[in-house]
Structure 1
Amino acid sequence: MTSQTPINIYQYDDFRVYLRDRFAAQRAADPACTHRAFAKSAGISNPGFLNDVIKGRRTLSAAATDKVIKGFGLSPVEAEYFRLLVEYGQCKNETKRDTLYRQICSRRNRSSFTKLNPALSKYYQDYRYPLIRNAIMAFDFRGNYEELGRFVRPCMPSAEVRKCVRELCEWGLVSQRPDGRYVVTGEYVEPSPTLNEQIRRLNRDWIDQAMDALMTLPPQKRHVSSRLLSVSPAVAKKIGEKIERFRDEIWEMVQDDPEDPSCIMQLNIQYFPRSRGREKA
């Protein structure tokens, strides 16, 4: 059931999302491409197998993974990347998941997808890129890498700062004016909907750094507060909606700031359940 599709496997970090999009693209190109036809070409007896995997109702064993690879006609390098996605997606051990994710990023960074879309692939992969980009907005940077490295928290070695600045310039996110000052351009990297794990991991890094701020910064330089709330489903929903409005209001304040920025502040918002659902009597 092999067919050429515009779907690039390297822009995915969730194997179920990849399978969903890959099958949809092949079906759009060839109406004869059905779940039954795929199962037959892959050597799978259950015609609903692929749909069950996509919906999360089934896991993929090594043997089943090989059959899916055969059904889609993946190349050897695509097959190896797909196996990594499957192992990562089904792994429960966080240490092992971190190792697998580094392997996924390493393979993606060597792919044609990254060569054509370096910013999309790498910008949200490392918290230092957004940090340095924001620092350039608040710091008169003219190539003094050591000073810029000391300006940010946590401090960064000048070699790392130089690398970040060089790549941000290559991606068109930062440019150097004739007077020598580096400035942020109007370009923006929209997070890819197929790289959700990348954003989750970036948020985790930022939350970890918020914990460091709690222990290292004096109270007058930070605001950290937590509270447990016992609420009804209706009020829980209203709070979530109010948080969204608050976030939009903060962003508008930043956009409308009449003065030039001179510092970077990190705003974290966490709101999540601390109990399981309870059935009504």
Structure 2
Amino acid sequence: MSTFVNIYDFTRFRKYLAEYQERRQAAEPTFSRTEFCNLLGLPNTRSYFNDVVQGKRVTDNMRERFINVIGLKGNEAKYFEAMIDFDQGKTAQVREAAFDAMMRLNKTPQAIVDPDSYEFFGNWYNSTVYAILEVMDVADDVSELAAKIFPPVSEKKLQASLELMKKMSLIRRDERGFWKPTKDSLATVQQSKSQMVLQFQKQCLELSKQALESAGKESRDMTTFTFSVSKKAQKQVEVAAEKFKAQIRHIVTADSEKPEIVEHINLHVFSNIREDASKASDYDTAAISANQKRRPFEKDLVQGG
């Protein structure tokens, strides 16, 4: 794996290249963007790297040169090529195949935050602010962020949230001085049952309650569905829930347009009958940025916005 940056933290090869060059130059001051061009065999084209980062198409010959300069091997090299195809593919089929290849090669296709990181998951708004930074330009003045975030959060808490994410290397300033995420996504470790994560999930439940009772025009789609099924069908429902979460992650990761909104999904699947009185019901809460698709068999409680 690259010494300077983890390629599997990215789904956009241009963002990966920019981050790699910046991190490597921090360790090797001579590794400027101009030097990158020299190593690519383009000593007379100093703007090439900048052009690629800004959207210039990369040819098959140049992708091989990038791989050699960075020193990518095996699955990392394949992942880099898949990222390029995902970005540059001329048809939807090519881009879809490239994305599937990325998912196969990347065993953990999310930026995983250690569930023992109590500070981050101790407050619901940290993950929300993380997502909002893709939508809004936020620097040292957080007054606009405080005015827009729902439910409301004080400026003092928002400043502390930014400081925490900076300490955890989850965000960094861009060339304009605004805080932006350093990863493509954020998720908790699946099936984690630590008290800290449960506390975070409880906060997310409270958010849903506030959204349900809110009279605002924000997008809302609240649904409940209670049913009786066989154990065989229960397993099928659990598989369908996992597929739904995977589909949402796919949509979010594959979204190539500029983020404009931040949405929150809580998905709860639990039994109303205990098979063993000594065991409590399990529930799984997914907190990710996505647009929720409505299902024809669901009962709509509230719809706004």
Question: Which TM-score band (shorter chain)?
Answer: 0.5 to 0.7
Distance in 2 (CA, whole Å) between partners of 1:172 and 1:119 is 16
User: Counterpart of 2:225 in 1: which secondary structure?
Assistant: coil
Distance change >3 Å, CA 118–CA 222, structure 1 → 2: closer
Distance change >3 Å, CA 180–CA 203, structure 1 → 2: same
Please point out which of 226, 232, 237 is paired with 2:230.
232
Per the alignment, residue 262 of structure 1 pairs with: 260
Distance in 2 (CA, whole Å) between partners of 1:271 and 1:190 is 17
Per the alignment, residue 198 of structure 1 pairs with: 196
Per the alignment, residue 160 of structure 1 pairs with: 157
| Pairing 1:171–2:184 present | no
User: Counterpart of 1:225 in 2: which secondary structure?
Assistant: strand
CA RMSD after TM alignment: 2.7
Per the alignment, residue 250 of structure 1 pairs with: 248
User: Counterpart of 2:157 in 1: which secondary structure?
Assistant: helix
Q: How does 1:73-152 map to 2 (within 5 A)?
A: 120-152=117-149
Distance in 2 (CA, whole Å) between partners of 1:192 and 1:238 is 19
User: Counterpart of 2:236 in 1: which secondary structure?
Assistant: helix
Query: What is the aligned length?
Result: 162
Per the alignment, residue 212 of structure 1 pairs with: 210
Structure 1 runs (4+) deviating above 6 angstroms are 192-195
Distance in 2 (CA, whole Å) between partners of 1:189 and 1:120 is 12
- TM-score, normalization: structure 2? 0.48
**Please, which runs of 5 or more residues in structure 2 have no aligned partner?**
1-113, 277-305
Distance in 2 (CA, whole Å) between partners of 1:189 and 1:172 is 15
Distance in 2 (CA, whole Å) between partners of 1:138 and 1:210 is 21
Distance in 1 (CA, whole Å) between partners of 2:133 and 2:197 is 22
User: Shift of the alpha carbon at 1:225?
Assistant: 1.2
Distance change >3 Å, CA 229–CA 219, structure 1 → 2: farther
**Please, which runs of 5 or more residues in structure 1 have no aligned partner?**
1-116
Distance in 1 (CA, whole Å) between partners of 2:159 and 2:210 is 25
User: Shift of the alpha carbon at 1:191?
Assistant: 4.5
User: Shift of the alpha carbon at 1:189?
Assistant: 7.4
Per the alignment, residue 63 of structure 2 pairs with: none
Letter in structure 2 aligned against 1:121? Y
User: Shift of the alpha carbon at 1:134?
Assistant: 1.2
User: Counterpart of 2:222 in 1: which secondary structure?
Assistant: coil
Q: Deviations over 1:70-123 (max 9, x none)?
A: xxxxxxxxxxxxxxxxxxxxxxxxxxxxxxxxxxxxxxxxxxxxxxx9982311
Letter in structure 2 aligned against 1:274? N
Q: Is the 8 A contact 1:119 1:189 kept in 2?
A: no
Q: Is the 8 A contact 1:125 1:198 kept in 2?
A: yes
Distance in 1 (CA, whole Å) between partners of 2:140 and 2:116 is 21
Q: Is the 8 A contact 2:121 2:200 kept in 1?
A: yes
- Give percent identity, aligned residues only: 15
Per the alignment, residue 94 of structure 1 pairs with: none
User: Counterpart of 2:266 in 1: which secondary structure?
Assistant: coil
Letter in structure 1 aligned against 2:247? E
Letter in structure 2 aligned against 1:199? V
User: Shift of the alpha carbon at 1:217?
Assistant: 4.4
Letter in structure 2 aligned against 1:161? L
Distance change >3 Å, CA 271–CA 168, structure 1 → 2: same
Distance in 2 (CA, whole Å) between partners of 1:247 and 1:118 is 19
Distance in 2 (CA, whole Å) between partners of 1:232 and 1:176 is 53
User: Shift of the alpha carbon at 1:195?
Assistant: 6.8
